[in-house]
Amino acid sequence: MKKLINDPAKTVDEGVAGFAAAHSDLVRVVIDPPFVVVRADAPVAGKVGLVSGGGSGHEPLHAGFVGHGMLDAAVPGAMFTSPTPDPILEATKQVDAGAGVLHIVKNYTGDVLNFETAADLALAEGIEVQSVIVDDDVAVKDSLYTAGRRGVAGTMLVEKLAGAAAERGDSLDRVAEIARTVNSQVRSMGLALAPCTVPHAGEPSFELGEDEVEIGIGIHGEPGRARIALEPADRLVDRLIEPILEDLPFAKDDRVVLLVNGMGGTPMSELYIVFRRAAEVLAERGIDLARSLVGSYVTSLEMQGVSITLLKVDDDLLDLYDAPVHTAALRWGR
């Protein structure tokens, strides 16, 4: 394990401290209870507050998306571990301006349970809270007999569009509805060429041979659903995008946002090679590439790999996508 860290037990603390130092114009950071990253000007009068969070190790998600037009607060837990209810409750209180608070929760047992408790506690303090569970990962079969699909890179699109709706003044009900709509129209799938190593574990989350690829990985260094031999990028892209297209399904003339997301250790040059093929597949199917996003936004530490996300949009959702956003990791329009 070779990392730019000091003490494996302090990576989250020091990463949050560095984030706070770099973005003091955008956020303030609560360290007790640890940690809450709050939009500098929260609570914003009259606005629904948006809170998300989850285990650390997925940077820039979620703290990198705190700011105008996106989240009001992010709650980073320990490495790959959902935060406890205390900081979630604290975040909820700090961003509540009386218009209510939306919790955006990735669908993992730990996240769901801890946010659930925090929401109960907030309700008990008189804060109106709604929750939206994000579960965009098509690698996991959604059924009554599993924990359901995971929330992966699509989460950032839920945060972006719901954030824009909150910023324009939509009500809590409406913002929650938009978040649910986005979740229902976004699908993702990822793969890894190399695993990541959780600092305190000191060993890779799984082992991969020099010519193996893990397909259908999550964002917590979980192994995926299948291991195959390494193939050319275009073929691997097909293996990700086809299940995505079939799942919703995405059809001819649909308009989509295409997100090609690096898992943390993948260079931009490879993401663009992936993007090239993904866009080609969409063109072949007559699907309209309305917007493109390429970068490492929802990561698994230094994992080498990529995920592909498609979001089906209409005019209203596209307006929300295009709306100004000013956060550490996503910024346009201001």
Partner 1 sequence: MSGLDGAWTRRWIEAVVAEIATRKSELTALDRAIGDGDHGENLDRGFQAVLGKLDALDDAPTPGAVLKLVATTLISTVGGAAGPLYGTAFLKAAMAAGDRPELDATGLVEVLTAARDGIVARGKAEPNDKTMVDAWSPAVEAAGAAGDDVRAVLEAAASAAAEGAIATEPLVAHKGRASYLGERAIGHRDPGAESTALILRVAADTR
Ligand X SMILES: Nc1ncnc2c1ncn2[C@@H]1O[C@H](COP(=O)(O)OP(=O)(O)O)[C@@H](O)[C@H]1O
Chosen residue from 35, 37, 56, 95 binding a second copy by CB under 8 A: 56
- From the candidates 58, 62, 68, 103, give the one annotated as an active-site residue: 58
Is the CB of residue 217 less than 8 Å from the CB of residue 204?
no
Alpha-carbon span 183 to 134, nearest angstrom: 6
Residues 6+ apart with CB under 8 A from 126: none
Q: Are strands 255-262 and 129-134 parallel, antiparallel or unpaired?
A: unpaired
H or E segment at 229?
A: strand 226-229
Burial class (CB in 10 A: 0-12, 13-18, 19+), 251: exposed
Alpha-carbon span 107 to 87, nearest angstrom: 19
- From the candidates 23, 68, 103, 220, give the one annotated as an active-site residue: 220
Q: Does 59 bind a second copy (CB under 8 A)?
A: yes
- Longest C-alpha distance within the chain, in Å? 55
Interface with ligand X by CB under 6 A: which residues? 81-82, 109-110
Which does residue 243 bind out of partner 1, a second copy, ligand X, none, counting CB within 5 to 8 angstroms by kind? none
Burial class (CB in 10 A: 0-12, 13-18, 19+), 114: buried
- Cβ proximity to a second copy: between 39 and 149 the closer is 39
Q: Does 318 bind a second copy (CB under 8 A)?
A: no
Q: Does 11 bind a second copy (CB under 8 A)?
A: yes
Chosen residue from 52, 205, 296, 307 binding a second copy by CB under 8 A: 296
**Region 47-86 residues binding Mg ion, contact defined as CB under 5 A:** 80-81
Token representation of residue 100: 């209510």
CA-nearest of 38, 40, 33, 42 to 13 is 33
- Cβ proximity to partner 1: between 146 and 269 the closer is 146
Q: Does 279 bind a second copy (CB under 8 A)?
A: yes
Residue 103 designated active-site:
no
- Cβ proximity to Mg ion: between 55 and 64 the closer is 55
Q: Does 188 bind Mg ion (CB under 5 A)?
A: no
Q: Does 193 bind a second copy (CB under 8 A)?
A: yes
Which does residue 11 bind out of Mg ion, a second copy, partner 1, none, counting CB within 5 to 8 angstroms by kind? a second copy
- Cβ proximity to Mg ion: between 11 and 94 the closer is 11
H or E segment at 332?
A: strand 331-332
Residue 176's CB is within 10 A of a number of other CB atoms, namely 23
Q: Does 153 bind a second copy (CB under 8 A)?
A: no
Token representation of residue 291: 């917007």
Residue 220 designated active-site:
yes
Interface ranges with Mg ion (CB under 5 A): 80-81
Interface ranges with a second copy (CB under 8 A): 2-7, 11, 14-19, 21-23, 56-57, 59-60, 64, 193-194, 210-211, 230, 232-234, 236, 260, 264-277, 279-280, 289, 292, 294, 296, 299, 301-302, 304, 306, 326, 328-329, 331-334
Active site residues: 58, 220
